[in-house]
Chains A and B, each alone.
Chain A
Amino acid sequence: MMTADEAVSRLRSGMTLGIGGWGSRRKPMALVRALLRSDVTDLTLVSCGGPDVGMLAAAGRVRRLVTAFVTLDSVPLEPNYRAARESGSLELTEVDEAMFLWGLRAAAHRLPFLPVRAGIGSDVLRPGSGLRTVTSPYEDGEVFVAMPALRLDAALVHLNRADRRGNGQYLGPDPYFDDLFCEAAAEAYVSCERVVDTAELTKAAAVQTLLVKRHTVTGVIEAPSGAHFTSCDPDYARDDAFQKHYATTPWPRFAERFLGGDERAYRAAVRSWREADR
Protein backbone atom coordinates (compact mmCIF):
# COMPACT_ATOMS: atom_id res chain seq x y z
CA MET A 1 0.00 0.00 0.00
CA MET A 2 1.24 3.47 -0.80
CA THR A 3 -0.04 6.89 -1.76
CA ALA A 4 -0.14 8.17 -5.33
CA ASP A 5 2.68 10.58 -4.51
CA GLU A 6 4.79 7.75 -3.09
CA ALA A 7 4.23 5.70 -6.23
CA VAL A 8 5.22 8.60 -8.45
CA SER A 9 8.31 9.31 -6.32
CA ARG A 10 9.65 5.96 -7.56
CA LEU A 11 9.48 7.07 -11.20
CA ARG A 12 12.36 8.81 -12.95
CA SER A 13 12.65 11.20 -15.87
CA GLY A 14 13.37 9.46 -19.16
CA MET A 15 11.43 6.30 -18.25
CA THR A 16 9.15 4.34 -20.58
CA LEU A 17 5.79 4.39 -18.87
CA GLY A 18 2.76 2.27 -19.78
CA ILE A 19 -0.67 3.65 -18.89
CA GLY A 20 -3.68 1.31 -18.79
CA GLY A 21 -7.31 1.97 -19.70
CA TRP A 22 -8.53 2.83 -23.17
CA GLY A 23 -9.37 6.26 -24.60
CA SER A 24 -11.40 7.96 -21.90
CA ARG A 25 -12.14 4.74 -20.01
CA ARG A 26 -10.69 3.60 -16.68
CA LYS A 27 -7.56 5.72 -16.91
CA PRO A 28 -5.38 5.95 -13.77
CA MET A 29 -6.03 9.69 -13.56
CA ALA A 30 -5.20 10.05 -9.83
CA LEU A 31 -1.73 8.68 -10.66
CA VAL A 32 -1.50 10.96 -13.69
CA ARG A 33 -2.41 13.94 -11.50
CA ALA A 34 0.29 12.90 -9.02
CA LEU A 35 2.73 12.67 -11.92
CA LEU A 36 1.76 16.22 -12.91
CA ARG A 37 2.60 17.36 -9.35
CA SER A 38 6.06 15.77 -9.62
CA ASP A 39 8.97 16.95 -11.76
CA VAL A 40 9.24 13.68 -13.71
CA THR A 41 9.62 14.50 -17.40
CA ASP A 42 11.10 13.35 -20.73
CA LEU A 43 8.80 10.33 -20.68
CA THR A 44 8.08 7.78 -23.36
CA LEU A 45 4.40 6.92 -22.94
CA VAL A 46 2.84 3.67 -24.12
CA SER A 47 -0.91 4.13 -23.99
CA CYS A 48 -4.22 3.57 -25.77
CA GLY A 49 -4.44 7.25 -25.33
CA GLY A 50 -6.98 9.49 -23.68
CA PRO A 51 -6.71 12.48 -21.34
CA ASP A 52 -3.66 10.85 -19.70
CA VAL A 53 -1.73 11.57 -22.87
CA GLY A 54 -3.34 14.98 -23.40
CA MET A 55 -2.54 16.26 -19.91
CA LEU A 56 1.02 14.94 -19.72
CA ALA A 57 1.73 16.26 -23.23
CA ALA A 58 0.23 19.65 -22.39
CA ALA A 59 2.47 19.82 -19.31
CA GLY A 60 5.51 19.11 -21.48
CA ARG A 61 6.35 15.80 -19.80
CA VAL A 62 6.30 13.57 -22.86
CA ARG A 63 9.09 13.18 -25.38
CA ARG A 64 7.60 10.28 -27.32
CA LEU A 65 4.27 8.52 -27.50
CA VAL A 66 3.70 4.93 -28.66
CA THR A 67 0.05 4.47 -29.55
CA ALA A 68 -2.63 3.44 -32.03
CA PHE A 69 -4.89 6.40 -31.21
CA VAL A 70 -5.67 9.19 -28.78
CA THR A 71 -9.32 10.05 -28.13
CA LEU A 72 -11.72 11.25 -25.46
CA ASP A 73 -14.47 8.98 -26.93
CA SER A 74 -17.37 11.43 -26.57
CA VAL A 75 -14.98 14.13 -27.83
CA PRO A 76 -13.33 12.34 -30.77
CA LEU A 77 -10.06 14.31 -30.89
CA GLU A 78 -7.99 15.11 -27.76
CA PRO A 79 -7.27 18.86 -28.00
CA ASN A 80 -4.10 18.97 -25.88
CA TYR A 81 -2.62 16.00 -27.69
CA ARG A 82 -3.39 17.61 -31.03
CA ALA A 83 -1.80 20.88 -29.98
CA ALA A 84 1.36 19.09 -28.82
CA ARG A 85 1.60 17.12 -32.05
CA GLU A 86 0.90 20.08 -34.32
CA SER A 87 3.52 22.20 -32.55
CA GLY A 88 6.08 19.47 -33.18
CA SER A 89 6.89 19.02 -29.48
CA LEU A 90 5.74 15.41 -29.28
CA GLU A 91 7.25 12.52 -31.25
CA LEU A 92 4.90 9.74 -32.26
CA THR A 93 5.54 6.05 -32.87
CA GLU A 94 2.30 5.04 -34.43
CA VAL A 95 1.34 1.37 -34.36
CA ASP A 96 -1.87 -0.48 -35.10
CA GLU A 97 -4.08 -1.73 -32.23
CA ALA A 98 -3.15 -5.35 -32.95
CA MET A 99 0.55 -4.45 -33.10
CA PHE A 100 0.16 -2.66 -29.76
CA LEU A 101 -1.46 -5.75 -28.20
CA TRP A 102 1.22 -8.10 -29.55
CA GLY A 103 3.98 -5.71 -28.45
CA LEU A 104 2.71 -5.91 -24.87
CA ARG A 105 2.34 -9.70 -25.12
CA ALA A 106 5.89 -10.03 -26.45
CA ALA A 107 7.20 -8.06 -23.48
CA ALA A 108 5.08 -10.09 -21.04
CA HIS A 109 6.41 -13.31 -22.62
CA ARG A 110 10.02 -12.05 -22.59
CA LEU A 111 10.16 -12.37 -26.39
CA PRO A 112 11.97 -9.82 -28.59
CA PHE A 113 8.99 -9.65 -30.98
CA LEU A 114 5.85 -11.40 -32.12
CA PRO A 115 4.71 -11.72 -35.74
CA VAL A 116 1.51 -9.96 -36.69
CA ARG A 117 -0.40 -9.64 -39.96
CA ALA A 118 -0.81 -5.89 -39.68
CA GLY A 119 1.06 -2.84 -40.82
CA ILE A 120 2.39 -4.17 -44.12
CA GLY A 121 1.18 -2.03 -47.03
CA SER A 122 0.37 0.82 -44.63
CA ASP A 123 2.44 3.84 -43.59
CA VAL A 124 3.03 2.60 -40.04
CA LEU A 125 5.93 0.82 -41.72
CA ARG A 126 7.38 3.92 -43.33
CA PRO A 127 11.12 4.61 -43.13
CA GLY A 128 12.14 5.75 -39.68
CA SER A 129 9.48 3.71 -37.92
CA GLY A 130 12.14 1.27 -36.72
CA LEU A 131 9.76 -1.60 -37.48
CA ARG A 132 11.08 -4.67 -39.26
CA THR A 133 9.47 -7.65 -40.93
CA VAL A 134 9.99 -11.38 -40.48
CA THR A 135 9.47 -14.18 -43.00
CA SER A 136 7.72 -17.37 -42.00
CA PRO A 137 10.29 -20.22 -41.85
CA TYR A 138 7.62 -22.67 -43.05
CA GLU A 139 6.50 -23.45 -46.61
CA ASP A 140 4.10 -20.48 -46.82
CA GLY A 141 6.95 -17.96 -46.64
CA GLU A 142 4.54 -15.20 -45.63
CA VAL A 143 5.98 -11.89 -44.45
CA PHE A 144 4.77 -10.35 -41.19
CA VAL A 145 5.59 -7.34 -39.10
CA ALA A 146 7.91 -8.39 -36.26
CA MET A 147 6.28 -6.27 -33.58
CA PRO A 148 9.00 -5.47 -31.03
CA ALA A 149 8.29 -6.06 -27.36
CA LEU A 150 6.87 -2.97 -25.65
CA ARG A 151 8.97 -3.31 -22.51
CA LEU A 152 7.98 -0.84 -19.83
CA ASP A 153 10.00 0.58 -16.96
CA ALA A 154 6.76 1.09 -15.09
CA ALA A 155 3.02 0.67 -15.60
CA LEU A 156 0.12 2.64 -14.10
CA VAL A 157 -3.37 1.13 -14.14
CA HIS A 158 -6.65 1.81 -12.35
CA LEU A 159 -9.06 -0.96 -11.31
CA ASN A 160 -12.30 -1.18 -9.37
CA ARG A 161 -10.99 -3.18 -6.40
CA ALA A 162 -7.74 -4.59 -5.10
CA ASP A 163 -6.47 -6.17 -1.94
CA ARG A 164 -3.44 -4.86 -0.06
CA ARG A 165 -1.14 -7.36 -1.71
CA GLY A 166 -1.92 -6.27 -5.27
CA ASN A 167 -4.59 -8.68 -6.47
CA GLY A 168 -6.56 -6.40 -8.75
CA GLN A 169 -10.19 -6.75 -9.83
CA TYR A 170 -12.12 -5.18 -12.69
CA LEU A 171 -15.90 -5.13 -12.52
CA GLY A 172 -16.66 -3.38 -15.82
CA PRO A 173 -17.23 -4.87 -19.25
CA ASP A 174 -13.66 -4.80 -20.60
CA PRO A 175 -10.29 -5.55 -18.99
CA TYR A 176 -8.62 -3.48 -21.73
CA PHE A 177 -4.91 -4.38 -21.70
CA ASP A 178 -4.33 -3.61 -17.99
CA ASP A 179 -3.00 -7.03 -16.94
CA LEU A 180 -0.66 -7.03 -19.93
CA PHE A 181 0.66 -3.58 -19.00
CA CYS A 182 1.51 -4.93 -15.52
CA GLU A 183 3.13 -8.07 -16.97
CA ALA A 184 5.15 -6.05 -19.49
CA ALA A 185 6.54 -3.68 -16.83
CA ALA A 186 9.46 -3.90 -14.43
CA GLU A 187 7.27 -2.16 -11.84
CA ALA A 188 3.50 -1.76 -11.79
CA TYR A 189 1.40 0.60 -9.68
CA VAL A 190 -2.27 -0.27 -9.35
CA SER A 191 -4.71 2.32 -8.11
CA CYS A 192 -8.23 1.25 -7.28
CA GLU A 193 -11.56 2.66 -6.15
CA ARG A 194 -11.48 0.65 -2.95
CA VAL A 195 -9.00 -1.61 -1.17
CA VAL A 196 -10.80 -4.60 0.33
CA ASP A 197 -9.91 -7.79 2.21
CA THR A 198 -8.82 -10.58 -0.10
CA ALA A 199 -11.86 -12.67 0.83
CA GLU A 200 -14.16 -9.78 -0.18
CA LEU A 201 -12.96 -9.89 -3.80
CA THR A 202 -14.82 -13.07 -4.73
CA LYS A 203 -17.83 -12.70 -2.41
CA ALA A 204 -19.98 -10.87 -4.95
CA ALA A 205 -18.04 -11.30 -8.20
CA ALA A 206 -16.79 -14.26 -10.25
CA VAL A 207 -13.13 -15.22 -9.86
CA GLN A 208 -12.56 -14.30 -13.53
CA THR A 209 -12.77 -10.63 -12.53
CA LEU A 210 -9.40 -10.98 -10.76
CA LEU A 211 -7.44 -9.53 -13.64
CA VAL A 212 -4.12 -8.44 -12.16
CA LYS A 213 -2.00 -10.85 -10.13
CA ARG A 214 -0.03 -9.62 -7.13
CA HIS A 215 3.32 -10.96 -8.40
CA THR A 216 3.14 -8.36 -11.19
CA VAL A 217 2.31 -5.46 -8.85
CA THR A 218 4.76 -3.21 -6.99
CA GLY A 219 2.35 -0.91 -5.19
CA VAL A 220 -1.38 -0.56 -4.48
CA ILE A 221 -2.93 2.88 -4.15
CA GLU A 222 -6.45 3.46 -2.85
CA ALA A 223 -7.85 6.24 -5.02
CA PRO A 224 -11.61 6.79 -4.88
CA SER A 225 -12.75 8.53 -8.09
CA GLY A 226 -9.21 7.78 -9.25
CA ALA A 227 -10.29 7.47 -12.88
CA HIS A 228 -12.29 10.71 -12.92
CA PHE A 229 -13.24 12.21 -15.40
CA THR A 230 -12.87 8.99 -17.40
CA SER A 231 -15.31 6.12 -16.83
CA CYS A 232 -14.90 3.41 -14.22
CA ASP A 233 -17.85 1.09 -14.84
CA PRO A 234 -19.78 0.06 -12.83
CA ASP A 235 -18.60 2.44 -10.09
CA TYR A 236 -19.23 5.52 -12.23
CA ALA A 237 -19.67 6.60 -15.82
CA ARG A 238 -17.51 9.09 -17.67
CA ASP A 239 -18.12 12.67 -16.44
CA ASP A 240 -18.92 14.02 -19.89
CA ALA A 241 -19.82 17.52 -18.67
CA PHE A 242 -16.49 17.91 -16.93
CA GLN A 243 -14.61 16.27 -19.80
CA LYS A 244 -16.17 18.83 -22.12
CA HIS A 245 -14.98 21.55 -19.77
CA TYR A 246 -11.47 20.06 -19.88
CA ALA A 247 -11.57 19.86 -23.68
CA THR A 248 -12.67 23.47 -24.11
CA THR A 249 -10.55 25.20 -21.45
CA PRO A 250 -7.04 26.41 -22.29
CA TRP A 251 -4.59 24.08 -20.53
CA PRO A 252 -2.89 26.63 -18.22
CA ARG A 253 -6.27 27.76 -16.90
CA PHE A 254 -7.48 24.18 -16.41
CA ALA A 255 -4.26 23.15 -14.67
CA GLU A 256 -4.32 26.16 -12.39
CA ARG A 257 -7.91 25.66 -11.33
CA PHE A 258 -7.97 21.87 -10.91
CA LEU A 259 -4.45 20.47 -10.65
CA GLY A 260 -2.67 22.80 -8.23
CA GLY A 261 -3.26 20.63 -5.16
CA ASP A 262 -3.74 17.00 -4.12
CA GLU A 263 -6.68 14.66 -4.85
CA ARG A 264 -8.80 16.18 -2.11
CA ALA A 265 -8.26 19.63 -3.61
CA TYR A 266 -9.03 18.26 -7.08
CA ARG A 267 -12.33 16.79 -5.95
CA ALA A 268 -13.24 20.03 -4.17
CA ALA A 269 -12.43 22.06 -7.27
CA VAL A 270 -14.55 19.77 -9.44
CA ARG A 271 -17.40 20.05 -6.93
CA SER A 272 -17.29 23.81 -6.90
CA TRP A 273 -17.11 23.90 -10.71
CA ARG A 274 -20.19 21.68 -10.86
CA GLU A 275 -22.09 23.90 -8.44
CA ALA A 276 -21.12 27.07 -10.27
CA ASP A 277 -22.00 25.47 -13.60
CA ARG A 278 -25.57 24.65 -12.55
Chain B
Amino acid sequence: MSRSPSRAPGAPAAPPSRAEYCVIACAEAWRGAGEILASPMGTVPSVGARLARLTFAPDLLLTDGEALLIGADGTVEGWLPYRQHLALVAGGRRHVMMGASQLDRFGNQNISRIGGGSPPRRQLLGVRGAPVNTLNNPTSYWVPRHSRRVFVEKVDMVCGVGYDNAARHPATARFHDLRRVVSDLGVFDFGTPDGSMRLVSVHPGVTVREVREATGFPLAVPEEVPCTREPTEEELLLIREVIDPAGLRGREVPEGAGR
Protein backbone atom coordinates (compact mmCIF):
# COMPACT_ATOMS: atom_id res chain seq x y z
CA MET B 1 0.00 0.00 0.00
CA SER B 2 0.98 3.62 -0.37
CA ARG B 3 2.99 5.52 2.18
CA SER B 4 1.41 7.19 5.14
CA PRO B 5 0.53 10.78 4.26
CA SER B 6 1.63 12.28 7.57
CA ARG B 7 5.20 12.90 8.65
CA ALA B 8 6.98 14.40 11.59
CA PRO B 9 7.15 18.22 11.49
CA GLY B 10 10.35 19.36 9.83
CA ALA B 11 11.10 15.94 8.30
CA PRO B 12 11.63 16.05 4.53
CA ALA B 13 8.67 14.93 2.41
CA ALA B 14 9.01 11.52 0.77
CA PRO B 15 10.00 11.88 -2.90
CA PRO B 16 7.13 11.84 -5.42
CA SER B 17 5.80 8.40 -6.28
CA ARG B 18 5.07 7.27 -9.84
CA ALA B 19 1.36 7.74 -9.13
CA GLU B 20 2.04 11.33 -8.11
CA TYR B 21 3.92 12.08 -11.33
CA CYS B 22 0.90 10.66 -13.14
CA VAL B 23 -1.39 12.98 -11.12
CA ILE B 24 0.73 15.97 -12.17
CA ALA B 25 0.70 14.87 -15.82
CA CYS B 26 -3.10 14.51 -15.73
CA ALA B 27 -3.60 17.84 -13.93
CA GLU B 28 -1.54 19.58 -16.63
CA ALA B 29 -4.17 18.55 -19.19
CA TRP B 30 -6.51 21.13 -17.64
CA ARG B 31 -4.00 23.98 -17.27
CA GLY B 32 -5.47 27.18 -18.66
CA ALA B 33 -8.74 25.42 -19.47
CA GLY B 34 -10.93 28.19 -18.05
CA GLU B 35 -14.57 27.73 -17.07
CA ILE B 36 -15.19 24.29 -18.53
CA LEU B 37 -16.13 20.91 -17.08
CA ALA B 38 -13.28 18.53 -16.26
CA SER B 39 -14.51 14.95 -16.66
CA PRO B 40 -11.83 12.64 -15.30
CA MET B 41 -12.39 8.87 -15.43
CA GLY B 42 -10.27 6.84 -13.03
CA THR B 43 -8.66 7.69 -9.71
CA VAL B 44 -5.44 9.38 -10.87
CA PRO B 45 -7.20 11.71 -13.37
CA SER B 46 -9.76 12.58 -10.67
CA VAL B 47 -7.01 13.54 -8.24
CA GLY B 48 -5.35 15.47 -11.07
CA ALA B 49 -8.50 17.41 -11.94
CA ARG B 50 -9.03 18.42 -8.31
CA LEU B 51 -5.38 19.43 -8.04
CA ALA B 52 -5.73 21.61 -11.15
CA ARG B 53 -8.91 23.16 -9.69
CA LEU B 54 -7.12 23.94 -6.41
CA THR B 55 -4.06 25.46 -8.10
CA PHE B 56 -3.66 26.59 -11.70
CA ALA B 57 -7.18 26.08 -13.10
CA PRO B 58 -9.43 27.68 -10.45
CA ASP B 59 -12.41 28.12 -12.77
CA LEU B 60 -12.78 24.40 -13.66
CA LEU B 61 -16.15 22.77 -13.07
CA LEU B 62 -16.03 19.39 -11.34
CA THR B 63 -18.69 16.72 -10.74
CA ASP B 64 -19.16 14.28 -7.88
CA GLY B 65 -19.13 11.47 -10.45
CA GLU B 66 -22.93 11.44 -10.45
CA ALA B 67 -25.29 14.34 -11.06
CA LEU B 68 -23.85 17.16 -8.95
CA LEU B 69 -21.38 19.93 -9.74
CA ILE B 70 -19.15 20.44 -6.73
CA GLY B 71 -16.42 22.81 -5.61
CA ALA B 72 -12.97 21.56 -4.67
CA ASP B 73 -14.13 21.12 -1.06
CA GLY B 74 -17.27 19.24 -2.08
CA THR B 75 -19.71 22.17 -1.84
CA VAL B 76 -22.58 21.58 -4.26
CA GLU B 77 -22.75 24.38 -6.84
CA GLY B 78 -24.93 22.88 -9.53
CA TRP B 79 -26.89 20.01 -11.03
CA LEU B 80 -25.74 18.04 -14.06
CA PRO B 81 -27.82 14.93 -14.73
CA TYR B 82 -26.77 12.74 -17.67
CA ARG B 83 -29.04 14.45 -20.18
CA GLN B 84 -27.57 17.88 -19.34
CA HIS B 85 -24.08 16.40 -19.27
CA LEU B 86 -24.60 15.23 -22.86
CA ALA B 87 -25.87 18.68 -23.83
CA LEU B 88 -22.74 20.17 -22.28
CA VAL B 89 -20.61 17.78 -24.36
CA ALA B 90 -22.36 18.95 -27.52
CA GLY B 91 -21.62 22.55 -26.53
CA GLY B 92 -17.93 21.69 -26.24
CA ARG B 93 -17.30 23.27 -22.81
CA ARG B 94 -15.67 20.17 -21.42
CA HIS B 95 -12.36 18.31 -21.45
CA VAL B 96 -12.78 14.61 -20.77
CA MET B 97 -10.04 12.19 -19.81
CA MET B 98 -11.27 8.69 -20.68
CA GLY B 99 -9.80 5.26 -20.14
CA ALA B 100 -8.91 2.92 -23.00
CA SER B 101 -8.88 -0.86 -23.32
CA GLN B 102 -7.04 -0.31 -26.61
CA LEU B 103 -5.51 2.85 -28.04
CA ASP B 104 -3.83 3.03 -31.44
CA ARG B 105 -1.22 5.14 -33.15
CA PHE B 106 -3.72 7.80 -34.28
CA GLY B 107 -5.60 7.94 -30.99
CA ASN B 108 -8.52 5.67 -31.90
CA GLN B 109 -9.80 4.25 -28.63
CA ASN B 110 -11.70 1.03 -27.87
CA ILE B 111 -13.66 0.26 -24.71
CA SER B 112 -16.28 -1.98 -26.28
CA ARG B 113 -14.88 -5.35 -27.32
CA ILE B 114 -11.81 -7.46 -27.96
CA GLY B 115 -11.89 -9.25 -31.30
CA GLY B 116 -13.37 -7.66 -34.39
CA GLY B 117 -15.50 -10.58 -35.54
CA SER B 118 -18.84 -11.91 -34.40
CA PRO B 119 -19.20 -12.92 -31.63
CA PRO B 120 -16.57 -10.83 -29.86
CA ARG B 121 -13.75 -12.71 -28.15
CA ARG B 122 -14.36 -10.56 -25.07
CA GLN B 123 -17.31 -8.27 -24.59
CA LEU B 124 -16.31 -5.16 -22.68
CA LEU B 125 -18.28 -2.13 -21.52
CA GLY B 126 -19.63 -0.68 -24.77
CA VAL B 127 -18.90 2.58 -26.60
CA ARG B 128 -20.49 4.72 -23.86
CA GLY B 129 -20.00 8.39 -24.83
CA ALA B 130 -16.70 7.97 -26.66
CA PRO B 131 -18.07 8.75 -30.16
CA VAL B 132 -19.85 11.93 -29.06
CA ASN B 133 -17.02 13.04 -26.77
CA THR B 134 -14.33 12.84 -29.42
CA LEU B 135 -16.36 14.76 -32.03
CA ASN B 136 -17.43 17.53 -29.67
CA ASN B 137 -15.03 18.36 -26.87
CA PRO B 138 -11.32 18.11 -26.11
CA THR B 139 -10.43 14.54 -25.14
CA SER B 140 -7.45 12.98 -23.40
CA TYR B 141 -6.76 9.43 -22.30
CA TRP B 142 -5.44 7.80 -19.14
CA VAL B 143 -3.83 4.35 -19.21
CA PRO B 144 -2.72 3.17 -15.76
CA ARG B 145 -0.70 0.26 -17.12
CA HIS B 146 1.14 0.95 -20.36
CA SER B 147 1.50 -2.24 -22.41
CA ARG B 148 1.31 -3.64 -25.93
CA ARG B 149 -2.13 -4.99 -25.07
CA VAL B 150 -3.40 -1.43 -24.74
CA PHE B 151 -1.14 0.48 -27.17
CA VAL B 152 -1.99 -1.48 -30.31
CA GLU B 153 -1.37 -0.94 -34.03
CA LYS B 154 -5.12 -1.05 -34.73
CA VAL B 155 -8.04 -1.12 -32.32
CA ASP B 156 -10.64 -3.89 -32.66
CA MET B 157 -13.46 -1.33 -32.58
CA VAL B 158 -13.23 2.43 -32.99
CA CYS B 159 -15.19 3.99 -30.11
CA GLY B 160 -13.27 7.24 -29.58
CA VAL B 161 -12.31 8.73 -32.96
CA GLY B 162 -8.61 9.14 -33.76
CA TYR B 163 -6.88 11.61 -36.08
CA ASP B 164 -6.88 9.36 -39.17
CA ASN B 165 -10.63 8.75 -38.98
CA ALA B 166 -11.34 12.39 -38.12
CA ALA B 167 -9.38 13.49 -41.22
CA ARG B 168 -11.84 11.57 -43.41
CA HIS B 169 -14.73 13.70 -42.10
CA PRO B 170 -13.29 17.21 -41.80
CA ALA B 171 -16.62 19.07 -41.54
CA THR B 172 -18.20 16.77 -38.97
CA ALA B 173 -14.93 16.51 -37.05
CA ARG B 174 -14.28 20.26 -36.88
CA PHE B 175 -14.30 20.14 -33.05
CA HIS B 176 -12.19 16.95 -32.86
CA ASP B 177 -9.26 17.63 -30.52
CA LEU B 178 -7.25 14.87 -28.84
CA ARG B 179 -4.99 16.63 -26.37
CA ARG B 180 -2.80 14.10 -24.58
CA VAL B 181 -2.36 10.57 -23.38
CA VAL B 182 -1.01 9.95 -19.89
CA SER B 183 0.20 6.48 -18.93
CA ASP B 184 2.18 5.17 -15.98
CA LEU B 185 5.28 5.52 -18.17
CA GLY B 186 4.92 8.95 -19.71
CA VAL B 187 2.98 11.63 -21.53
CA PHE B 188 2.10 11.60 -25.23
CA ASP B 189 0.41 13.86 -27.75
CA PHE B 190 -0.45 13.84 -31.45
CA GLY B 191 1.61 16.85 -32.55
CA THR B 192 3.02 15.20 -35.67
CA PRO B 193 2.25 16.06 -39.32
CA ASP B 194 0.06 12.95 -39.73
CA GLY B 195 -1.53 13.09 -36.26
CA SER B 196 0.26 9.99 -34.99
CA MET B 197 1.26 9.60 -31.36
CA ARG B 198 4.41 11.26 -30.08
CA LEU B 199 6.28 10.89 -26.82
CA VAL B 200 6.23 14.18 -24.89
CA SER B 201 7.88 13.21 -21.60
CA VAL B 202 8.83 10.17 -19.57
CA HIS B 203 8.14 9.97 -15.86
CA PRO B 204 11.36 10.04 -13.80
CA GLY B 205 12.84 6.54 -13.64
CA VAL B 206 11.42 5.48 -17.04
CA THR B 207 13.58 5.15 -20.16
CA VAL B 208 12.53 5.85 -23.74
CA ARG B 209 13.44 2.27 -24.54
CA GLU B 210 10.99 0.96 -21.92
CA VAL B 211 8.25 3.08 -23.45
CA ARG B 212 9.03 1.83 -26.96
CA GLU B 213 9.06 -1.79 -25.82
CA ALA B 214 5.67 -1.42 -24.13
CA THR B 215 4.10 0.21 -27.20
CA GLY B 216 2.72 -1.91 -30.05
CA PHE B 217 3.34 0.64 -32.82
CA PRO B 218 6.18 2.93 -33.92
CA LEU B 219 6.10 5.96 -31.67
CA ALA B 220 7.33 9.39 -32.77
CA VAL B 221 10.18 10.26 -30.40
CA PRO B 222 11.93 13.65 -30.46
CA GLU B 223 15.70 13.80 -30.04
CA GLU B 224 15.45 15.18 -26.53
CA VAL B 225 12.78 13.66 -24.32
CA PRO B 226 12.32 15.59 -21.08
CA CYS B 227 11.07 14.13 -17.80
CA THR B 228 7.55 14.84 -16.60
CA ARG B 229 7.83 17.88 -14.35
CA GLU B 230 8.29 17.64 -10.61
CA PRO B 231 5.34 18.41 -8.36
CA THR B 232 5.81 21.52 -6.24
CA GLU B 233 5.88 21.17 -2.46
CA GLU B 234 2.39 22.70 -2.30
CA GLU B 235 1.08 20.24 -4.89
CA LEU B 236 2.49 17.24 -3.04
CA LEU B 237 0.91 18.44 0.17
CA LEU B 238 -2.46 18.92 -1.54
CA ILE B 239 -2.31 15.47 -3.15
CA ARG B 240 -1.25 13.66 0.02
CA GLU B 241 -3.16 15.48 2.71
CA VAL B 242 -6.15 17.17 1.10
CA ILE B 243 -7.26 15.39 -2.07
CA ASP B 244 -6.25 11.75 -1.58
CA PRO B 245 -5.22 11.15 2.05
CA ALA B 246 -6.34 7.51 1.74
CA GLY B 247 -3.75 6.93 -0.99
CA LEU B 248 -6.16 5.53 -3.59
CA ARG B 249 -3.80 6.77 -6.35
CA GLY B 250 -1.26 4.16 -5.24
CA ARG B 251 -3.77 1.39 -5.89
CA GLU B 252 -4.19 2.48 -9.50
CA VAL B 253 -0.43 2.92 -10.05
CA PRO B 254 1.41 0.79 -7.48
CA GLU B 255 4.95 1.78 -6.59
CA GLY B 256 7.70 -0.50 -7.88
CA ALA B 257 5.35 -2.95 -9.62
CA GLY B 258 7.28 -5.36 -11.82
CA ARG B 259 6.70 -4.86 -15.52
Chain A residues packing against B (C-beta within 8 Å) = 22, 49, 67-71, 76-77, 81-82, 85-88, 94-99, 101, 116-124, 140-144, 173-177
Contacts and interface: CB of A to CB of B under 8 A. Distances in A.
Given A101-B86, A116-B132, A117-B90, A69 B171 contact: no
Main secondary structure of the interface of A (DSSP, over half): loop
Contacts of B129: 68, 96-98
Contacts of A118: 131-132, 135-136
Nearest to A172: B67
B194 interface: no
Given A117-B90, A173-B66, A68 B135 contact: no
Contacts of B120: 85-86
Interface of B: 66-68, 79, 81-83, 86, 89-90, 112, 118-132, 134-136, 157-161, 165-166, 168-169, 171-173, 175-176
B172 A94 contact: no
Nearest to B89: A98
A53 to B, nearest CB: 10
Given A122-B130, A174-B66, A87 B135 contact: no
**Consensus secondary structure, chain B interface:** loop
B127 A68 contact: yes
Contacts of A122: 127, 130-131, 134, 158-161, 165
Contacts of B90: 98, 117
Which of B83, B129, B132, B176 has the most chain A CB within a 10 Å cutoff? Answer: B132
A67 B124 CA distance: 13
A202 B90 CA distance: 33
A174 B81 contact: yes
Given A69-B125, A96-B127, A121-B158, 15 more contacts: A70-B126, A76-B125, A86-B122, A96-B128, A96-B132, A98-B131, A99-B131, A116-B132, A117-B172, A121-B134, A122-B161, A124-B131, A143-B171, A173-B66, A173-B68
29 contacts: A69-B126, A69-B127, A76-B125, A77-B125, A81-B123, A86-B121, A96-B127, A96-B129, A96-B130, A97-B128, A98-B90, A99-B131, A101-B82, A101-B86, A117-B90, A118-B135, A120-B172, A120-B173, A121-B135, A121-B169, A121-B176, A122-B127, A122-B131, A122-B165, A123-B159, A141-B171, A142-B171, A142-B172, A144-B172
Contacts of B68: 173
Contacts of A140: 171
